[in-house]
Amino acid sequence: MSDITGEEIEELLKKSWVDFFKYYESEVQRHCEITNMSRAEASEEHWMVWNEHDLMFQLGRFFYKQLREKIPQDIEPHFDKFLSRSTFKDSTLSEKLKELKGRLGWVPKPDLIIAQETNLDHFLLCAEAKFFHYSVARYNREPHIVIKKDIDTLVAIKDLGIAERVVFMLFDDYYCHRDQEKYKEIMSILAEAEKHKLTILKHP
């Protein structure tokens, strides 16, 4: 059995991201036709993706299909798992997680971890996701703060060798249409993140 690389896993995730949004757009169109609703009206609804958990679930359907078709080995995705030393007791990974907590000041819980189940001295990929919909305004979420925290987490995970590849995913159908100043701020943060060799996936 040949070794699978984080780069190969990342390529599958990129393909799944594209496939998901093709599906999403087709479903929104179908929804509009069924309800006789305009696309603008549909964007005001909680439709298919209500929060980041929904985003990861929907994306996960496409990713798992890709994974099983292309890499039928002991590779599995995991969602919302704390990177704590008590969970991962392998000596190499445990020490890295101790450093991670010290560097960040908290125990992170990545939205997605791709692991080779028989080799947990490091992960193949870790990813964080953010979803901003119209309802974001109701909760006073400051996008630059939550994005920066995710970016800092991913940079630390990569720097410490905890994961081969790190990916930040952004689904934004709010700021990109309604608040151009904050959207520019978000894009600036992501451009800076790419300098740290993070992969950025955005809503097409």
Q: Which pLDDT does position 1 carry in this prediction? A: 41
pLDDT tens for 105-123 read: 999 999 999 999 888 889 9
Rounded CA-CA distance 19/26 in Å is 11
Confidence of residue 178 (pLDDT cuts 50, 70, 90): confident
Q: CA angle, corner 15, sides to 182 and 129, nearest 5?
A: 35
pLDDT tens for 40-95 read: 777 777 778 888 899 999 999 999 999 988 886 889 999 999 999 888 877 789 89
Evaluate if residue 25 carries a pLDDT over 70.
Answer: yes
Provide, rounded to the nearest whole percent, the portion of the chain with pLDDT above 70: 93
Evaluate if residue 39 carries a pLDDT over 90.
Answer: no
What is the mean predicted confidence (pLDDT) over 28-44?
A: 82
DSSP 92-133: HHHHHHHHHHHHHSS----SEEEEETTB-SSEEEEEEEEEE-
What is the mean predicted confidence (pLDDT) over 177-200?
A: 88
DSSP 139-178: GT--HHHHHHHHHHHHHHHHHTTSEEEEEEEEEESSHHHH
Give the strand pairing for 112-116 and 163-172: unpaired
Q: In what order do the strands lie in the sheet with 163-172?
A: 75-78, 112-116, 123-132, 163-172, 199-202
Provide, rounded to the nearest whole percent, the portion of the chain with pLDDT above 90: 51
3-state secondary structure of 62: helix
Break the chain into its structural domains and give their ranges: 6-202
